[in-house]
Amino acid sequence: MCLHHEKYDNSLKIISNATCTINCLAALAKVFHDNFGVMEGLMATVHAITATQKTMDIPFGDTHSSTFDCGTGFALNDHFLKLVLCFENESGYSNRLVDLIAHMVFKE
């Protein structure tokens, strides 16, 4: 679910569960910020599609929004880390949407 779900107000007419990039990045960024203090960051996204490749989402059955690949990250210096996350678009996002709806029902 989104990081600011506690600010949900049932009088709202329009809500958003953000984007796949936010659902993938925000949770890990919050953990790093809470534990180490994030002063600034750089984000890049790579989408698995090219001009000659068809889009294909294959659910992995993982209900998490993203998976942190600790083996591929590294520190460029004392203040700049490269972190790699894989976002499972179909299943992960769908599960975060269900979490948000359950939270909305609870707030009613």
The residues annotated with a catalytic role in the active site are 20
Q: Name beta bridge partners: 75.
A: 81
Classify residue 65 as exposed, middle or buried by CB count within 10 Å of its CB (0-12, 13-18, 19+): buried
| Amino acid at site 85 | L
Per-residue DSSP letters for 54-104? -------S--SSEEE-TTT-EEEETTEEE--EEE-HHHHHHHHHHHHHHHH
